[in-house]
Amino acid sequence: MITINLNGQSRHIARGTSAAMVVADLGIGAKKFAVEINREVIPKDRLDEVVLHERDEVNVVTLVGGG
């Protein structure tokens, strides 16, 4: 197990977990979202290949429309 910081909270995940797996665990589904790891925005088509490491800072935000 490793520890990451996900949206400001400590979270334990399995070693070898990808960013896509974290997004799937959050249950975001088809919503519009963005993922930032260590202050770098990761394109959605790369989420499967980005493996998280100890102490990574991960922010996942969903986009909400409104007026």
pTM: 0.87
In a domain, 28, yes or no: yes
Kindly provide the b/e burial profile for residues 21-31, where b requires at least 16 CB atoms within 10 angstroms of the residue's own CB: bbbeeeeeeee
What is the CATH classification number for the domain harbouring 29?
Answer: 3.10.20.30
In a domain, 43, yes or no: yes
In a domain, 42, yes or no: yes
In a domain, 48, yes or no: yes
Q: Which residue has the higher pLDDT, 30 or 62?
A: 62
In a domain, 67, yes or no: no
What's the number of domains the chain is made of? 1
Give the pLDDT of residue 67: 60
Domain that holds residue 9: 2-62
**8-39: per-residue pLDDT in tens?**
999 999 999 999 999 999 998 767 899 999 99
